[in-house]
Amino acid sequence: EARNLAKAQLDSLYDEIRPAIEDLEKDSQDSVSTSVAEKWIEACCSKQKAEFDLYFSIIKNVSSTSSRLSQDEVHVKVEDHENLLDSNC
C-alpha cells in the first residue's frame, strides 16, 4: 500500500512538472522550481523505502520459514532416532 501511495505521489508530481519540461523541450530539473524538486526527491525516497520494506519483509518471511523448517526436520530426526533406539533395546 505504501508503495502504491508513493508511486501515485510521483505520478502527480511528474504531471506537475511536465509542462515546464515540455516548454523548454528538455528533460531536466533545471526548468523545475526548487520546491517541486524537493517534493520529487521526497517522493522518490518514499517509493524506495516502501520497496525496500516490502522486499525486506519477503526475505525475512522466507528465511524465518526455512529456519523453522530446518528446526522441525532436526526435531523429527531426533524423534526417529530415539524411536529406533527404543525399538532396538
pTM of this prediction exceeds 0.85: no
Query: Directed axis angle between helix 34-88 and helix 2-24, to 10°?
Result: 150
Helix (H), strand (E), coil (C) string for the chain? CHHHHHHHHHHHHHHHHHHHHHHHCCCCHHHCCHHHHHHHHHHHHHHHHHHHHHHHHHHHHHHHHHHHHHHHHHHHHHHHHHHHHHHHC
Per-residue model confidence as pLDDT tens digits over 25-76: 555 556 667 887 788 788 888 888 888 988 898 888 887 776 666 665 655 6
Backbone angles phi, psi at 32, to 5 degrees: -110, 140
Domain ranges of the chain: 2-88
Place 17 in a pLDDT band, splitting at 50, 70 and 90.
Answer: confident
